[in-house]
Structure 1
Amino acid sequence: MCWSATADLVAGTVITAVGAAAVAVAARHPRDLPLAALPLLLGAHQIIEAVVWHRGGGTGPATVAWSVIALPLLALWVPAAVLCAAPPSARRRLLLPLAAGVVTAAALAHALATRTVTAEIRGHTVGYSLGLPQAELTVAGYLLATLGSLLLSGDRGLVLFGVLVTVGAAVSFGLWRQEYISTWCAFAAVCSVVLLLWARRSRPPVPRPPGPPVP
């Protein structure tokens, strides 16, 4: 989330470009691709919110699309992507965040299918409301699935990334609750660059087989 339609559009474009670069780098290692593609999803998310700003909030398709990405899709995408990229020694413990992601994503998808999500412009922030039952339990499952999978990944770069996301989310949430300014887009941009660096350094390139001898 950003503080204006223009900021969301600019941030989304930059984050999408970083995501495209990360995917190109991670193509050498297919297991890294789902996580490297995360900035593409975050970039699209910001661009969609620019439409929400432009329409003044409400309950239109842009609001629903924003909520689908933010709620069920990320709750499932992040732990599944981390499981793909994590070292084999960490995969068993990552089944817990993945299970939390599956359950949380199912609950959120059901809520989106049966309730109306609304967006409200509040100064320099956008507030989204879905009226979730047992919201505290859903939030706990969401955090376990997303932040928990990163912190339990067993990959030093992903653990540091998880710490960065945790701090950034806490700061952004505090500012958003005060309806002062929404800064998550700035942290999303930083996180996207970190993922690009991770994709470049996570593993050495796969060596190519030697070619035929030159006569």
Structure 2
Amino acid sequence: MCWSPVADLAAGTAVAAVGVVCVARVRSPRDLPLAALPLLLGAHQIVEAALWHTGGGTGPATLAWAVIALPLLPLWVPAGVLLAATGPAVRRRLSLPMAAGAATAGVLAHALATGPVTADVRGRTVAYTLGLTHVPLIAAGYLLATVGALLLSGDRWLRALGWAAGAGAVVCWAVWRWAFVSTWCAVAAVCSLVLWGWVRSRPDRAPAEGGPGPR
């Protein structure tokens, strides 16, 4: 989310371009989901640029934004980290974020299927409303699935991504709560550059099963 349709479109295009470079550079099919994450984030922002022009509401752009943000990301991130992980010990650690992501995605997908999601343009922010109960529990599961998976990955680049995403989530929530300005597009740009560093750090071939991954 950015503070205007122009900012969303520009940031989304730039982040998606980083995603194209990451996907082109990827060496192993197991790394592809994480390498493609900037493409997903860029598309998310481009969708919101269209949503600004429609003035919010419950149209297709709102639903597309919600599908990416809510059920897709908490499943995509831990699954991508799990696929890229090396060694059974790391994979065992990632079973909890993966389970949290699947459960959270299921709850959010059910909410989207049974009730409308509404976008409301408020100055320089867009607020999204979806009838959810137990919001703190869902938020905890979401953060465990996304930030938790990155921090438990055993890879220094992905840990840095986890810290950046976690800190960015706190800042973005605070400024959005104050209805000041949305800053998630800046966080998405930083995260995409960290993922580019991760892709470049990956070995030409995967290490032997059970061997140490990149640190």
TM-score normalized with structure 2 length: 0.93
Q: Is the 2:78–2:146 contact (alpha carbons within 8 Å) kept by the matching residues of 1?
A: yes
1:18-167 to 2 correspondences below 5 Å: 18-26=18-26, 28-88=27-87, 89-167=89-167
Q: Is the 2:22–2:35 contact (alpha carbons within 8 Å) kept by the matching residues of 1?
A: yes
Shift of 1:134: 1.2
Q: Is the 2:160–2:194 contact (alpha carbons within 8 Å) kept by the matching residues of 1?
A: no
Shift of 1:87: 2.1
Does 1:14 find its partner at 2:51?
no
Shift of 1:172: 1.2
Unaligned runs of 5+ in 2: 207-215
**Secondary structure of 2:127's aligned partner:** strand
Mapped to 2, the partners of 1:87 and 1:178 lie a distance apart of 42
Structure number, greater radius of gyration: 1
Please list the CA deviations of residues 163-213 of structure 1 after superposition, one character each: whole Å capped at 9, or x if unmatched: 11111111111111111000100110111011011100132x249xxxxxx
Letter in 2 for 1:140: A
Shift of 1:93: 1.1
Please list the CA deviations of residues 62-121 of structure 1 after superposition, one character each: whole Å capped at 9, or x if unmatched: 000000000000010000000011221300110110011111101100000001100001
Q: Is the 1:157–1:202 contact (alpha carbons within 8 Å) kept by the matching residues of 2?
A: no
Mapped to 2, the partners of 1:110 and 1:174 lie a distance apart of 27
Mapped to 2, the partners of 1:169 and 1:202 lie a distance apart of 27
Mapped to 2, the partners of 1:166 and 1:128 lie a distance apart of 20
Mapped to 2, the partners of 1:187 and 1:135 lie a distance apart of 23
Shift of 1:156: 1.2
TM-score normalized with structure 1 length: 0.93
Letter in 2 for 1:61: P
Mapped to 2, the partners of 1:135 and 1:206 lie a distance apart of 42
